Amino acid sequence: MTSPRFAFHSILEHEIHVTEWGDPANPPLVMWHGLARTGRDFDELAAGLSDRWFVLCPDTIGRGWSSWSKNPEAEYSIEYLTGIAVDLLDQYDIDKAAWIGTSMGGLIGMRMASGPLASRLTKLVINDIGPEIPQAAIDRIGTYAGDQPTFDTVQAMEDWLKTIYAPFGTAPDSFWRRMTLSSIRRRDDGRITLHYDPKLILQFTVNAHELTTWDRYAKITLPTHVVWGMKSDVLPASVVERMRAEGPKPSVTEFPEFGHAPSLSREEDIALVRKILDDLG
């Protein structure tokens, strides 16, 4: 596996951690993670594509090694995170980049692609998210993301992650162990908890208006592809069918046995994403 590099950038008064993969001379590809996750979720995929791409996997503010927000009501929002994404491209002197976004990362990609910032992207891959999210799915995510569990051992945390994120689908044991290690922080009492700010769920309350965006989606013209975990409660079939018919009218890859959201970590997944990126031109 290609070895990652780790960088920190000062953006909008935040310290943003980015995991870098591949040769900076290659075409740039940004991979942006989901709500309560980190950029390290893409390790397998990023390593697999780094022979042809310069891959950037940021930690969103309030997650992983990036700084937490002092104004979470305003900054834990898709609009604000989109600003961070654009400034991050500027930090790397990147004019245009391909984009793969899982869940929240897909919402950021769609926001960029639906307005003047579309010129900063070359293609868009959306992993299991759409311009409308069912309230039941929002409630489910808010329940586990807003009430951080604590553990006495790393193994206990790994077992919990395997249960909560079972919809990610089949993945090697190495994926779950690495995902666990990149999700850990210790509290003052020495117990283990997850490496994110629980206030990030304000996205679902203060900034809930950003979760229904069909008007913006209709404006997207970039080459777009949707990855769909067919058991997903976040991306139901009705939303997928409307996405196929409107806006960029994307092609869709279906994972019948997966939910929200396919991890894209297996060898066959990496080959699939490579083909998707090629087919998008």
What is the C-alpha separation between 281 and 122, in angstroms, rounded? Answer: 9
CATH topology assigned to domain 5-135+198-279:
Rossmann fold (3.40.50)
pLDDT at 1: 53
pLDDT in tens, 6-15: 999 999 999 9
CB atoms inside a 10 Å sphere around CB 257: 11
Query: What pLDDT shows up at residue 125?
Result: 99
Mind listing the pLDDT tens digit for each residue in 134-172? 999 999 988 888 888 999 999 999 999 999 999 999 888
Cα 230 to Cα 257: distance, rounded to the nearest angstrom: 7
Residue 175 phi, psi dihedral angles, 5° rounding? -65, -50
Beta bridge partners of 56: 20, 30
Regions of the chain with pLDDT less than 50: none
Sorted by where each begins, the domain ranges of the chain are 5-135+198-279
Residue 2's pLDDT is 78
Specify the pLDDT at position 44: 95
Q: Is 18 helix (H, G, I), strand (E, B) or coil?
A: strand
CB 43 within 8 A of CB 17: no
Asked if the bond preceding 261 is cis, omega within 30° of 0, the reply is yes
